[in-house]
Structure 1
Amino acid sequence: MSLSPAIESAWLSGQLIPRTELTLSVGDMGFVLGTAVTEQLRTFGGRLFLSDAHRNRLRRSLEICGIDPGIPLVTVFLAAAEVAHHNHALLSNMRGDLGVIVFVTPGDHPSQHGGNGSPPRVAIHTFPLAFQAWKHLYRAGVKLRSVSIQQVPSTSWPIELKCRSRMHYFLADREASQLEPGARAIICHSDGRVSETSTANLLIVRGSRLLTPSPQDALPGVSLEFVRLLAQEHSMPLEARSLSIEDVANADEVLLLSTPSCLLPVVSLNGRPIGAGHPGPMCEKLISLWSNSVGLDIVMQAMDSEFFP
């Protein structure tokens, strides 16, 4: 199906459709049970960024859940690139970029569909990146808070599974905000190992060393892996190992890595400053390396967001 260039597009189980027609049954297991696996990508200049890495992580999540989408993931991500290219052209200012969601559900829950299930559903949609939500944080920094909510244990599901079952993240960030308005939660395992925040991987700087929680402790982050490669290219090896809250509190710098905002500095933990209490030199260096790699200044793009949606 071809769409008018003026109509925002989406994709559902092999069909390119208008965004307004992207609907799922409320009896879909993605809603009823929260059993949806997902990837969020972003564009730079309308092109998908790190598409292969996101596709590989989605493949692993589907394997863990035993969901066969019925469509090759290469085909799905080619469709994601097509949807992103089409929708990027609809932005009022071409300096903007998109968030791109790919998600897969197991299909209809038989108990809500007369005893009949359905094939899995695969969907793609986009939205303009909300730079306004985080642009000030490149300068002001993020405040983190320890909370009572803990990471889901590996006996429930593997840490490498990226899914939409995120109640613990919601509760953790609510608690953090109650403790300190505007703060985000830092989530740990029951034994005290630091895991992640609700939306980002953690990277700490201690002297010339870059440290991040081990793959057994946190979701393997696509942005984190990108930074690891950038650091390696510039003789700054990144070490993955288990970290404690004390490691984070005593770091010279703490950084948050995620797809939409790329890299944000942390300035405090539990009301106490991290390092000098403002974004540090490693943060500036990694932002510069990231910007050079993608061909635009990621901070300035966000700062200019007042001029486009």
Structure 2
Amino acid sequence: MARSDLSDITAFLSVAKEGSFTKAAAKLGVSQSALSQTVRNLEARLGLRLLTRTTRNVSPTEAGERLIQAVGPKLEEVEAELAALTALRDKPAGTVRIAAGELAAEMVLWPVIERLLPDYPDITIEIVVDNGLTNIVEQRLDAGVRLGEQVDKDMVAVRIGPDVRMAIVGTPSYFTRYPKPKVPQDLMAHNCINIRLPTAGGLYAWELEKEGRALKVRVEGQLVFNTATMAVKAACAGSGLAYVPEDRVLSHIENGELAQVLADWCPSFSGLHLYYPSRRQPTPAFAVVANALRHSNSVRV
């Protein structure tokens, strides 16, 4: 294979991944016209059309998809091994890309990264905030952060946070209008704040448990959000009951702004884990970040 072929295939893979010549050109640092010509040249040499182009998007043809499946993973392995060569440097260097939900990014990742970066000026960290279950392999990310029970079995998982306990909260003024619920069934008479799941698109059923008895309560109310941050804001405004991680509202509970109910029905879930593919060789830069997150967990717990 000529070097030009390898370069052109890399360009094609970038376009296929982004689904756009414009986005791929911006990431590769070339003009859109130059990138388009590169892919056309590759198609001409192969005698096959690799991409279907429309006015709105770009998608791989059958031949293009076959090339992606055959070559894409091998190029990723080469890139990972080249990145691992930074171990020969005096200080780790490179980019580490991590996907995490909003709360995990704010409460777990950022405090560690803020302390870490001044000591490692050659490391760049990109946090992709995504409340869905991101496929880190498809998105070419180094790692992700999820609750332990959500991590796929073929991933390496490193615990970076204690168990997450949930809480049902509302303002004292709200409870002057509605009596405090004593059992989960009472929630049906309350204005509850729903969370729409980013993956399936449905509303999250509140998962409650007491003495081995588990319930999933589908609550109703006037508000639906797709982030816990907005649910907390609405609860603090007296708009209804929110079901969120206890750590997220602990300060509000302590200062009396929010009151917790049905605490004996609120379970704990396996804590946050940093996860990454078991077959991928971690770069020195990634090892620094992972070790910092692991150490942070041991300090908190």
Which TM-score band (shorter chain)? under 0.3
Between Structure 1 and Structure 2, the one with more helix by share is 2
Q: TM-score, normalised by structure 1?
A: 0.27
The structure with the larger Rg is 2
